Structure 1
């Protein structure tokens, strides 16, 4: 909002002072796109991809690489809740404060693990907008842990042939 003060004259004679109020509306980019978060299927270890944000594993140490991507010149930072949702997991990030952040989850599910584990990934996006607002987007990465297959008792069969 801008206020303009002016003096009004007529035929060189001062008549008075007036004030005008001018409002400016400034719009940010209306074509904002939310950042994408996807699992990088090439680097999966001991698990298989179900869809862009879920994997299935039968246990053992797993490694899940993922990435967060936004249109430049966005500045992304990423947080998660692995301390609560994936006990004992470690997550490392690279590329923070750029428009492409990659992360890797390393986790060994407990021996008794069975079912779905949900990791909440939150992406903060500055979008380099005119407003000081930081957009926050949350994504759920699902890890389905299937119980191992019990092959039962291992038996060996030996066929003995006698030659006489």
Structure 2
């Protein structure tokens, strides 16, 4: 069965259950050399960036589910195969949907990115990565707390 790396709305298990009846969640995964971005219509995509790593989840899909996901993603996305790093497992090759420039799906719903942020927190993506998603959603994450210097020489 084909493995698929999800980094946007397809990370949501409830949404995937409605799209792909036999989909099985494998777990968290990372795609080195890519970062998440927004297309002009507000939907998520990945772009190549040697210094970045996209986070998401890995799904095991039936071929029928893959056809359903193709229909859901529409003409605005193309599938590529990339090596994906599973959390706690060996690397695998997985399908990844990448947005095509200039081909949109219409405007993304107003809560599209906030739902992705909520799912990213729920599935346990790293706080730094969740902050990247929050910035894409238009939020301004709080800066990390600063540490105070220890001034008591007896502690040192």
Specify the TM-score bucket, using the shorter chain as the normaliser: under 0.3
Which structure is larger by alpha-carbon Rg, 1 or 2?
1
- Highest RCO, 1 vs 2 (Cα 8 Å, sep ≥ 6): 2
Report the structure, 1 or 2, having the larger strand content. 1
Instruction: With the length of structure 1 as denominator, give the TM-score of the two structures.
Output: 0.26
